[in-house]
Structure 1
């Protein structure tokens, strides 16, 4: 039976941007389904003990910039490590993805455009006009998606995704959960690939 992989993400993460294409390619190779699940990363941080970028020690902030350049080069992706519109509030962008999913659509192309807009094209993904343009470019009707994104039903989707990520010990983004086993980070895709290829039982913390 083809595998289903929970794909926890938020639009403001450079690591989500860097791993998005690779995650899709991995799933396609294995005939697996990526179940897209936008989350509220701030709520996850409250549980994991992580802190926002501005509150991290300077040495970790500097090392992050090096790592971003390394992984961007490895993935062949352009990146502005200090983009004009970051930090930003990803809530509306995340909710537009949930809105597309709620109506049975496929948000993958749109997601890629949103991630690149922030991390490679100096666009503001917290701005409705920017999101409307990107929605239209991916074949969606912007006013319909943006209206749906502001409903209680769609907000609840994101809240549930967040709690499910916390319950799965997916402590950051992107996180991929296969058979209950979390793989945190786009640099864990090789390990996810191995798990899919081998069909092994999931590793567990409660041993």
Structure 2
């Protein structure tokens, strides 16, 4: 049986942006399935004791920017350290990712494009027009996905993802859970890859 990675994230997170492509590449190499589980980050933070960026001490805010810059350089990704549309509401983008997965579609590239829109393209992912453009560019039926994203079923799944993240002790975004073991932060992807590789070798 192929391994499964439960991927807790939100489309507004810079560290999700920095690690998303690397996660997909890691999963592909290992033959692992990625279960996309967008969460309401405020709920996860409230449980884990983390604070929203504006509420953190200045020294932590400054170090966060340094880490984003370092990892963007390491992963060869363009990044705006202070994007025009951050913070913004990621709810629509997150729900579209859920809608795509629920429909059996590959949400990975949509999530990548939504993250890029915020962190390298200065676009506001809270705007429906931006999300529609991303969906259309990926040849999805944008109107159908947007309708699904507005449904109570998808809203309920968004809440369930968030509750599940709290129950499983998720610390923030992104977090990757493999067989219940948490790898928190995009800087843990290499450790996740090693674990996947060791499990494959033991089979």
Q: Tell me the CA shift for residue 139 of structure 1.
A: 1.0
Residue aligning to 2:114: 114
Is this contact kept in 2: 1:168–1:181, CA < 8 A?
A: no
Deviations, residues 38-92 of structure 1 (Å, cap 9, x unaligned)? 1110111110111100000000000011100000000000000100000111011
- Which 4+ residue blocks in structure 1 deviate beyond 3 angstroms? none
1:24 alignment counterpart: 24
1:34 to 2:31 alignment: no
**Structure 1 residues 1-36: Cα deviation after superposition (integer angstroms, max 9, x where no partner):** 210000111000010111011001111111111111
Q: What displacement does 1:120 show?
A: 0.2
* Structure 1 residue 111, shift from structure 2 partner: 1.1
- Distance in 1 (CA, whole Å) between partners of 2:103 and 2:21 is 23
Equivalent residues in 2 for 1:93-108, closer than 5 Å: 93-108=93-108
1:179 is aligned to 2:194: no
Return 5+ residue gaps in structure 2 as ranges: none
Displacement of 1:144 in angstroms is 1.2
Of 190-199 and 82-91, deviating more is 190-199
Deviations 1:108-160 (A, max 9, x none): 11111110010000000000000000000111121111111111100111111
SS of structure 2 residue aligned to 1:199? helix
TM-score (norm 2): 0.96
The equivalent of 1:203 in structure 2 is none
- State how far apart, in whole Å, the 2-side matches of 1:166 and 1:3 are: 22
Cα distance in 1 for partners of 2:32, 2:139 equals 24
Matches within 5 A, 1:195-206: 195-199=195-199
Partners of 2:64 and 2:173 lie apart in 1 by 15
**1:130-169 map, 5 Å:** 130-169=130-169
Question: What is the CA–CA distance in structure 2 between the aligned matches of 1:45 and 1:29, rounded to whole Å?
Answer: 31
Q: How many residues align?
A: 200
